[in-house]
Amino acid sequence: MTHPEMPNIITLLADRYESYPLFKHLVEWETIIFSIIAVSILSFIAISSSRNLRPLPGRLQASIEMLVGGFDDFTCGILGPKGRKLTPFIGTLFIYILFMNLLGIVPLMKSSTSSWSITLALALSVFFYLQYTSIRELGLRGWIDHLMGNPRGILAASVIMPVFMLFMHVTSELIRPISLSLRLRSNIWGEDMLLAVLAGFGLKGLPLLLFSTLSSMLASIVQAGVFCLLTTIYFALVLSHEEAH
C-alpha cells in the first residue's frame, strides 16, 4: 500500500493493520482527524492562556495578548474602526490555517490544508459570513444595490447595465471561494509533495530536506497571511459601500 504523501500516523497504522477495516476508514477521514487535532491543541492553548488572567501577564498570556493586538491592528488598519468586530473571525482563521499548515512539517502528522475539502470549507465560511455581514451592514436593499455596482443617474435608468453588473458581481462572488480554497490547497499540497520526495532520497537529500522544511515553514505563514489578507479585502469592499450609504 503506497501513499504519494509523507506517511503519517494514520497511514502507517493502516499499512501495519491492513486487515482491519477500522484503519481503512480512518484513512478516509484523516484530514478531518488532523483538523480536529489542530482544534484541540489550539483550544487547550486558548483555555490555558485565558485562565487566571493577571494584571502582570506571564509569558503565555503576554504572547497571546501581543498576537491579538497584532491582529486588531491589522484588521483596523485595513477596515478602520469597524474592523475590530472582524478581528476574532480573521484572527481565528489565520491561527487555525497556520497551525494546520505547520502540522505537515511535524513527523507523523499531516497538513489538513493540503486537502481541498478543508480549504473549501474554510473559504465557504468566509463566503457566507461575508454575505451575512453585507446584509447586516447594508440591509437587503443595500446589499442588492452593492451587487449591482451601486448604479446612479443614467446607469440606474438603463436596466441592462445594472443587470449585467449584477450578473458579473454574483459570478465573482461565487468564484472567490473556489479561487481562495484552491490557492491555499495547491501551495500546501505542493510543499508536502516536495518534502515527501526529498525524504525519499534518504541521507543524501538531508540538506535539501532541511532547507525545504525551513522554506515550508515560511510558506505556511505566507499562505495563511494571504488567505486572511484576501478575506479582509473582501470585507473592505463591502464596508466601503456601507460608508457610501
Residue range 137-182, pLDDT digits in tens: 888 888 888 787 766 666 555 667 777 788 888 888 899 999 999 9
Residue range 81-115, pLDDT digits in tens: 888 899 999 999 999 999 999 998 998 899 999 99
Query: What does the angle CA 219 – CA 223 – CA 224 come to, to the nearest 5 degrees?
Result: 120
How far apart are the C-alpha atoms of 2 and 182, rounded to whole Å? 25
Q: What is the pTM of this model?
A: 0.87
